[in-house]
Amino acid sequence: MDLDGAKVLVVGLKRSGMAAASLLAAQGAIVRATDLQTLEALPEARQLLERLNIPFERQSAEVFEASDAIVISPDVPADLPALEAARARGVQVIGDLELAAPLLRGSTIGVTGSNGKTTTTSLIGHILKQSGVPVQIGGNIGTPVSAMVENSRKGMWNVLELSSFQLETIVTFRAHVGVALNVTQNHLDRHHTMERYAAAKARLFETQRGGDMAVLNADDPTCTAFASSGRATVRWFSTRRKFAPGACLSGEEVVLDGRPLLSVSDIPIRGRHNVQNVMAAAIAASRAGVSREDIGGAVRTFRAVEHRLEFVRAIEGVDFYNDSKATSVDAALKALDAFPGGLWVILGGKDKGLNYAALRDPLAQKAHAALLIGAAGAKISAQLEGAVPLVDVKTMDAAVAYAWERATSGDTVLLAPACASFDQFKSFEDRGETFKKLVMGLTPKS
């Protein structure tokens, strides 16, 4: 699409929307912007629009008219009636990922999955950076893709975390290396069915070409189906089966392309799921030209990403871990799997249409109690009743206080909510920061 002189509407004015508006203006488009909120509630967006002289209208059905193209932010549902009507008129509706695709220089590694995207994206970026490979990281974390265009260049690798919300609107975006970590129940409040959710993830591989690489989890049936989605060469990773080329386990040794890479005990991030994340990152980094020795060395120096099984503090023998990014049932299951027992688990928040029953057995085996916060508390309680003691504490401060009062040496207090944060917090980061501040404010009992 030729942007010079095109009339383009940007819908949603968080980070991605603001980056899209800036990129469009730089390309000579005639830009308008809209959001459900007023500009008074969006001070950063207001400053940007004023500086770029971009007009703003509060979101309504009428504002979607008279546009050549519409760029939606990831949090804007792609099936809004106004967007469907625009498509029916022949208007192109895309996200900022598709907008940036033809302008992003260098090669791209795209990482998707229900869980582990941020850790794996960050780990790939860390490996490349430590190995002297030019790299920038962004997408669903950190820098929006539209804002990465300016610093991109030939010979660079753009490592992108990609959500289903971003992928469902791509047409020409291409990942030279596409990574799928897993696909489990998530975002059903947005996609409505697992089939539609998986189809959005599959777009990453459908747009690949011959000579590209698809890095897929052989232990996940949905990921294995992606192998037939496009024309890329497939490389598998697995903790259960042997693959060469690819990545797998030999006892407690991670093997890359048939040769030992490093021991599981050398991986500094907690949880068996992170072994798979390391495997996927190693294959992607190898494709980017990093040697086996440099991959192993970089993995050993990687540290957990904030809010992802992040160790916060130990006090009187009680450990506190922040996994606020565990916003799905599967993510919470992976967090529980990382600990042997003695858990006080904080669950709850805004429900995403998920089923919490899968948490029953691991909680029964490992937890003293589940402490329920937020709007999803009643639903979680109904689905977990009888499996584990349930305490409806309602708020984060009450949950931390309750756990600290009853925990004894050797116990672990784990925030793994299995829910979105938006009922009581601005974001999962805000929720995790609140938890950490409360934990750091605890005083010894004796």
Q: Which of 65, 67, 61, 73 lies closest to 99, judged by CA?
A: 73
What is 7-96's CATH number, 3.90.1580.10, 3.40.1360.10, 3.40.50.20, 3.40.50.720? 3.40.50.720
Residue 205: pLDDT band with limits 50, 70, 90: very high
pLDDT for position 109:
98
pLDDT in tens, 339-350: 999 999 999 999
Dig out the tokens for 163 from the structure: 């959500």
Cβ-contact 432, 310 below 8 angstroms? yes
Q: What is the largest CA-CA distance in the chain?
A: 70
Rounded to two decimals, the pTM is 0.81
Q: What is the CA radius of gyration of the chain?
A: 22
pLDDT for position 186:
62
Residue 442: pLDDT band with limits 50, 70, 90: very high
pLDDT in tens, 76-112: 999 999 999 999 999 999 999 999 999 999 999 999 9
164 phi and psi angles, rounded to 5 deg:
-60, -30
pLDDT for position 379:
97
What is 310-440's CATH number, 3.40.920.10, 3.40.640.10, 3.90.45.10, 3.90.190.20? 3.90.190.20
E strands within 113-212?
Answer: 135-139, 157-161, 177-180
pLDDT in tens, 271-308: 888 999 999 999 999 999 999 999 999 999 998 888 98
Strands 253-256 and 259-263: antiparallel
Instruction: Work out the mean pLDDT of the chain and round it to a whole number.
Output: 95
* pLDDT tops 70 at residue 189: no
Strands 318-322 and 253-256: unpaired
Cα–Cα distance between 412 and 147 in angstroms, integer? 40
Residue 190: pLDDT band with limits 50, 70, 90: low
pLDDT in tens, 19-64: 999 999 999 999 999 999 999 999 999 999 999 999 999 999 999 9
Q: Per-domain residue ranges for the chain?
A: 7-96, 104-300, 310-440
Which architecture does CATH list for 104-300? 3-Layer(aba) Sandwich (3.40)
